[in-house]
Amino acid sequence: MCGIVGYVGTRDAIPVLVEGLHRLEYRGYDSAGVAVVRRGKVVVTKAAGRVQELRDRLTKPTPSTIGIAHTRWATHGEPSDRNAHPHLDAEGRIAVVHNGIIENAKQLRARLGAAGVELVSETDTEAIAHLIAAELAAGAGSLEDAVRAALRQVEGTYGLVVLDRTRPDELVVARNGSPIVLGIGEGEMFVASDVAALVHHTQRVVFLDDGELATVRAGEYRTSTLEARRTSKEPTTVDMVADDYELGGHPDFMRKEMAEQPEAVERALRGRLDERFATAHLGGLGLDAMALRAVRRVKFLGCGSAYYAGQLGANLVEELARIPADAEPASEFRYRNPVVDPDTLYVAISQSGETLDTLAAVQELRRKGGRVIGAVNVVGSAVARECGSGVFLHAGPEVSVASTKAMTNMTVSFAMLALLLGRVRDLSAASGQRIVAGLRALPARIEEVLGDDAAIREVAKRHAGAKHMFFLGRVRGWPVAREGAQKLKEISYVHAEAYQSAELKHGPLALIDADMPSVVVVPDDELLSKNLGTIEQIKARGGPVIAVTNADLPEGLADDVIRVSRGEPELDPIVLTVALQLLAYHLAVELGRDVDKPRNLAKSVTVE
């Protein structure tokens, strides 16, 4: 969501901080700001808009060896210079950058106001700066003590970094619900909300846990809990490298990450397929054959594309394992006092592992004694840790807001889970073999779709004038259609709606005319003739049709055809989804959109 960077060392801090912000911009981007200490003063520069606007404002050199910086995605207060972080206390002594939401901000602000403090922003964060300053004024022994005392009054989530102009050699950081990671350099230390901002400088990192604080100096760090108990944290080495966050010749990250899919799928499958027993090995699940057999139902929980991946997963589980399965948005699940069934296997899906709604669903499940596993891309993330077991997606870092390779790897992982659940039940070895071979064939099939780029671009160009679009599919094609519509709306801002094909005639058909193109997902399966019927219905009302298919359609039936290869029918939705990524991508590019940074969206949504 928002991004945090901090630096203390020997270099000029501002270039390091701004560079870090650029790397985090994908997480949230409506304003940015930086604070450094210069000649005993906190010097703050802020700008509404992108990090580039901030950079343009930083024309005067302000040499300093310590600083904090932030890129924001508005929650409290509109995006403006005033609401951009860092926030200061009344005297300009303390500067704070913060991710997360302070739930009792209103009360804290009222209390501060009553005590005569003038709050200059509408944010929840500003209160923290005033609280810390008050603790120092009241005689707190150290900045860390003051931060600790202030945080005891705070309810909500935070990842924060605090700078004190009277201590220009240390930063105090704290984490509760929003990630904070320390990067250890040679005589310098970095702080960030995401390793993406660090890997350029160091791969040795320390992840803070919830409820932990740290005092960070150029050559050392010291961690402790909110209760002032010392903790000892060994640095770990992350395997992300700077290249993962570089475009490497691609015009944008979405394109780069779509192109990486064959390789990403290859990684997800590596060491997990077993030809001999026609099954999959998912060691991280921590479930033996008996436990797998005891599963009577599977429920997938996630948000956005992760939810649609769950829907594809539910289909796969029902088809291959013949166990009832469904998917539900994690946000709905957590709020409806769900009936948690001890015989259900719950799967929490999240690329980032930080999405608050998904995390909260996991916590609700654990509280009620549900069995929940994670399907997570970011190792060490909150959802992964909370679940304790599951399947890592191995998609590699995903930067583009619109999920592509991570979403694909989610579905591939669910195909393996379905295969495994099937093979401890009645899925025959021959069918298992067929799925194993089908999975092995996926990287090459995805490569083929990617190779069809120019043709898909032409289709996108022909429909770039549309204001609205339908995405239609049935059964296997239904989640594909939903994800296709999601991709299109999020990056192109074209209104796109997904419908089950048969539902068309129960209302939406009234909207079909020459200006309403329909993208119809037509897998080559037993429902082919039904899908052809859907296309006929639309054509009869003068609606343009783009068929995305691996079947042989009657000549001239659809206006445009995006064709993918034939494989195992259960797995075909995975390949069809990739074709729809490209369609959405090219439409967005055609409309001149900034595909990596769609308006109003953020990569990981750590608020409700």
Q: Is 306 in the site for ligand G6P (CB under 6 A)?
A: yes
Residue of 2, 256, 303, 597 with catalytic role? 2
Give the range of 270-278, 279-287, 526-534, 598-606 binding ligand G6P by CB under 6 A.
Answer: 598-606
Q: Is 31 in the site for ligand G6P (CB under 6 A)?
A: no
Considering the complex, state which of residue 402 and residue 579 has its C-beta at the smaller distance from ligand G6P. Answer: 402
Considering the complex, state which of residue 127 and residue 265 has its C-beta at the smaller distance from ligand G6P. Answer: 265
Is 2 catalytic? The answer is yes
Q: What is the DSSP string of 438-494?
A: HHHHHHHHHHHHHHTHHHHHHHHHHTTT-SEEEEEE-TTHHHHHHHHHHHHHHHH--
Strand locations in 351-437 (E): 371-376, 390-392
Considering the complex, state which of residue 238 and residue 401 has its C-beta at the smaller distance from ligand G6P. Answer: 401
Q: Is 304 in the site for ligand G6P (CB under 6 A)?
A: yes
Is-contact 415 435, C-beta < 8 A? yes
Q: Is 605 in the site for ligand G6P (CB under 6 A)?
A: yes
Using DSSP's 3-state secondary structure scheme, residue 525 falls into coil
Is 603 catalytic? The answer is yes
Min. distance of Cβ 288 from ligand G6P in angstroms?
28
Considering the complex, state which of residue 358 and residue 537 has its C-beta at the smaller distance from ligand G6P. Answer: 358
Q: Is 329 in the site for ligand G6P (CB under 6 A)?
A: no
Q: Map the footprint of ligand G6P across residues 84-143, applying CB under 6 A.
A: none
C-alpha to C-alpha distances, 477 to 308, 474, 483, 569, nearest whole angstrom: 11, 5, 10, 11
Min. distance of Cβ 305 from ligand G6P in angstroms?
4
Q: Is 601 in the site for ligand G6P (CB under 6 A)?
A: yes
The 8-class DSSP code of residue 139 comes to: T
Distance, CA of 110 to CA of 120 (rounded, Å): 13
Considering the complex, state which of residue 79 and residue 235 has its C-beta at the smaller distance from ligand G6P. Answer: 79
Distance, CA of 35 to CA of 47 (rounded, Å): 12
Instruction: Name residues whose C-beta falls within 8 Å of residue 369's C-beta, 6 or more positions apart in sequence.
Output: 340, 342
Min. distance of Cβ 403 from ligand G6P in angstroms?
4
Min. distance of Cβ 351 from ligand G6P in angstroms?
3
Q: Is 303 in the site for ligand G6P (CB under 6 A)?
A: yes
Considering the complex, state which of residue 377 and residue 518 has its C-beta at the smaller distance from ligand G6P. Answer: 377
Q: How many CA atoms lie within 13 A of 386 on its CB side?
A: 28
Is-contact 124 110, C-beta < 8 A? no
Min. distance of Cβ 598 from ligand G6P in angstroms?
8
Distance, CA of 6 to CA of 244 (rounded, Å): 21
Give the range of 3-11, 236-244, 447-455, 596-604 binding ligand G6P by CB under 6 A.
Answer: 596-604
Is-contact 574 415, C-beta < 8 A? yes
* Largest distance between two CA atoms of the chain: 82
Is-contact 92 86, C-beta < 8 A? no
Distance, CA of 86 to CA of 33 (rounded, Å): 6
Q: Is 577 in the site for ligand G6P (CB under 6 A)?
A: no
Q: Is 83 in the site for ligand G6P (CB under 6 A)?
A: no
Q: Map the footprint of ligand G6P across residues 335-354, applying CB under 6 A.
A: 350-352
Q: Is 65 in the site for ligand G6P (CB under 6 A)?
A: no
Residue among 292, 293, 291, 309 at smallest CA distance from 301: 309
Using DSSP's 3-state secondary structure scheme, residue 254 falls into helix
Residue among 149, 196, 155, 147 at smallest CA distance from 174: 147
Give the range of 236-244, 401-409, 418-426, 524-532 binding ligand G6P by CB under 6 A.
Answer: 401-409
Residue of 46, 487, 597, 603 with catalytic role? 603
Using DSSP's 3-state secondary structure scheme, residue 105 falls into helix
Residues in contact with ligand G6P, counted by CB under 6 A, come to a total of 16
Considering the complex, state which of residue 190 and residue 307 has its C-beta at the smaller distance from ligand G6P. Answer: 307
Q: Please report the sign of the dihedral spanned by the C-alpha atoms of residue 360, residue 365, residue 367, residue 372.
A: negative
Give the range of 138-146, 360-368, 395-403, 497-505 binding ligand G6P by CB under 6 A.
Answer: 395-403
Considering the complex, state which of residue 86 and residue 302 has its C-beta at the smaller distance from ligand G6P. Answer: 302
Q: Which listed residue (178, 355, 534, 606) binds ligand G6P by CB under 6 A?
A: 355
Q: Is 203 in the site for ligand G6P (CB under 6 A)?
A: no
Strand locations in 125-252 (E): 158-164, 171-176, 181-184, 189-192, 204-207, 212-217, 220-225, 230-231, 236-237
Q: Which listed residue (4, 401, 485, 532) binds ligand G6P by CB under 6 A?
A: 401
**In the stretch 453-492, what mask flags binding to ligand G6P with x, by CB under 6 A?**
----------------------------------------
Q: Which listed residue (75, 157, 403, 492) binds ligand G6P by CB under 6 A?
A: 403
Distance, CA of 439 to CA of 417 (rounded, Å): 12
Residues labelled as active-site residues: 2, 603
Residues that bind ligand G6P (CB under 6 A): 303-306, 350-352, 355, 358, 401-403, 601, 603-605
